[in-house]
């Protein structure tokens, strides 16, 4: 049998390659940071989700090391058999405290949190109304659930209203949105979504993966930005971006929802607990955030500075309210050439084009971090300007 499928797989791979969509992995030999080593080269990293610069923070590393000694390396169990340590409970309480919610439940990833949130809560007689640009894990989670599916164009409130009207016959309605959309950096209009949810009797779920730690004055996410703390039924998020970047995800929100997920959510019931060192570092991280907004303030300053300077240099930047800055180039090949030349200049960024973004919307996505110093930002802006002049992107 394998002989036949091998030929088939060869062809599939060749097709991916000839379409220019083959993904190569770049090997990094240093910790994740503003400056990383890849190959023999040191480059400034502008494409990590390391928004608060915590991926290699000494306090988190120390907390993880200490937990190795006190709690061991792994737990070899799912949570409800013998995989719940005091650290897991403390981390869940810290997450709920951070978001101003009633309770939280940990998963191995946010992919799992989103995969396991819909099916236990909603059935055939219910409705899920989902933003068209929601993350792949939300789309997969919705697929696992029998609820009726409705979709609205990205952040389009008149389409959302239309879909809510259509869904009035259903028993329960849940509107689902990313907090920040990762390709443009725009924030979900949660204030308007909330008003529509009240008007048409629906619940809301927000995935704060790209917004937690970033959006809102103290980085509490989209619910802080729109003054809706504690008012949203379900929030999901990741520990793999702003929050230290290791691994882990969570769902947080109304107590009864979290209670039922502990009983019925399949990725929680049938997958291992996160390692104690990850839980311990997470607890330390939330404690740091309770004490100071230093990192969030620095990230906000860095982002505003970078965007203003790039606009001044003549770049076409998508409107953003996050630490994601999409430098629009429109042409696919140009986005790849420019990213390659920036790499030569010591700036590591990625160019995106169809099908990751719509046709004719190719871009370079820059992600700003609190670990960037002003000199890093200036170096990045200078490199962009130099390369863009050569490629006739700006004058």
Interface stretch with ligand PLP, choices 110-118, 194-202, 323-331, 342-350 (CB under 6 A):
110-118
Q: Out of 184, 207, 224, 321, point to the residue binding ligand PLP (CB under 6 A).
A: 207
Of 257, 292, 241, whose CA–CA distance to 117 is shortest? 257
Query: Residue 218 has which token pair?
Result: 């103290």
Q: State the nearest-atom distance from the C-beta of 384 to ligand PLP, in Å.
A: 24
Count of C-beta atoms within a 10 Å radius of residue 74: 13
- Label residues 351-389 b or e (16+ Cβ within 10 Å = b): bbbeeebeeebbbbbbbbbbbbeeebbebbbebbbebbe
Q: Would you say 50 or 137 has its CB closer to ligand PLP?
A: 137
DSSP per-residue codes, 148-161: EEEEE-TT-HHHHH
Q: State the nearest-atom distance from the C-beta of 129 to ligand PLP, in Å.
A: 17
Could you confirm whether 241 is annotated as catalytic? yes
Q: Out of 79, 135, 298, 365, point to the residue binding ligand PLP (CB under 6 A).
A: 135
Of 51, 213, 242, 210, whose CA–CA distance to 137 is shortest? 210
Q: Which residue has the tokens 């969509």?
A: 21
Could you confirm whether 71 is annotated as catalytic? no
Q: State the nearest-atom distance from the C-beta of 287 to ligand PLP, in Å.
A: 21
Catalytic residue among 57, 71, 88, 210: 210
Q: Would you say 111 or 353 has its CB closer to ligand PLP?
A: 111
Site for ligand PLP in 143-182 (CB under 6 A): 178, 182
Q: In what order do the strands lie in the sheet with 347-348?
A: 35-38, 41-45, 347-348
Q: State the nearest-atom distance from the C-beta of 136 to ligand PLP, in Å.
A: 8
Catalytic residue among 33, 109, 137, 182: 182
Query: Residue 5 has which token pair?
Result: 């499928």
Contact status: 109 vs ligand PLP (CB under 6 A): yes
The rounded distance, in Å, linking the Cα atoms of 280 and 306 is 34
Contact status: 240 vs ligand PLP (CB under 6 A): yes
The secondary element (H helix, E strand) that includes residue 365 is strand 362-367
Could you confirm whether 291 is annotated as catalytic? no
Query: Residue 316 has which token pair?
Result: 């076409």
Contact status: 209 vs ligand PLP (CB under 6 A): yes
Q: State the nearest-atom distance from the C-beta of 53 to ligand PLP, in Å.
A: 18
Contact status: 110 vs ligand PLP (CB under 6 A): yes
Question: Across-strand partners of 44?
Answer: 35, 347
Contact status: 116 vs ligand PLP (CB under 6 A): no
What residues are labeled active site? 182, 210, 241
Q: Which residues bind ligand PLP (CB under 6 A)?
A: 109-111, 114, 135, 137, 178, 182, 207, 209-210, 238, 240, 249
């Amino acid at each position: 049998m394998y002989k036949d499928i091998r030929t088939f797989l060869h062809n599939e791979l060749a097709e991916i390659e000839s379409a220019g969509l083959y993904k190569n992995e770049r090997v990094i030999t240093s910790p994740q940071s503003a400056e990383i080593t890849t190959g023999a080269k040191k480059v400034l990293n502008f494409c990590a989700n390391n928004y608060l610069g915590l991926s290699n923070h000494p306090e988190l590393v120390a907390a993880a090391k200490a937990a190795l000694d006190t709690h061991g390396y792994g737990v070899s169990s799912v949570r409800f058999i013998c995989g719940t340590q005091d650290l897991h409970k403390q981390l869940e309480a810290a997450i709920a405290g951070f978001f101003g919610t009633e309770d939280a439940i940990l998963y191995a990833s946010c992919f799992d949190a989103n995969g396991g949130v819909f099916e236990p809560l909603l059935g055939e007689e219910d409705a899920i109304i989902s933003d068209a640009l929601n993350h792949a894990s939300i789309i997969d989670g919705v697929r696992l659930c029998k609820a009726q599916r409705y979709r609205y164009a990205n952040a389009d409130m008149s389409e959302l209203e239309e879909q809510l009207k259509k869904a009035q016959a259903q028993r329960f309605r849940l509107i689902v949105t990313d907090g920040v959309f990762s390709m443009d950096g725009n924030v979900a209009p949660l204030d308007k979504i909330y008003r529509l949810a009240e008007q048409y009797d629906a619940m809301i779920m927000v995935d704060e993966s790209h917004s937690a730690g970033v959006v809102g004055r103290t980085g509490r996410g989209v619910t802080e930005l729109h003054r809706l703390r504690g008012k949203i039924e379900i929030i999901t998020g990741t520990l793999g971006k702003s929050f230290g970047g290791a691994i882990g995800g969570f769902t947080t929100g109304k107590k009864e929802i979290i209670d039922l997920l502990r009983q019925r959510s399949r990725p929680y019931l049938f997958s291992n607990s996160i390692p104690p060192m990850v839980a311990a570092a997470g607890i330390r991280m939330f404690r740091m955030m309770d004490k100071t907004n230093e990192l969030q303030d620095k990230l906000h300053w860095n982002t505003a500075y970078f965007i203003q300077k790039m606009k001044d240099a003549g770049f076409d930047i998508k409107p953003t309210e996050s630490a994601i800055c999409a430098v629009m180039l429109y042409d696919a090949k140009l986005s790849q050439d420019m990213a390659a030349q920036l790499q030569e200049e010591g700036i590591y960024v990625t160019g995106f084009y169809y099908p990751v973004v719509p046709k004719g919307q190719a871009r370079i996505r820059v992600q700003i971090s609190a670990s960037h110093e002003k000199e890093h930002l200036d170096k990045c802006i200078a490199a962009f300007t130099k390369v863009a002049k050569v490629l006739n992107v700006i004058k």
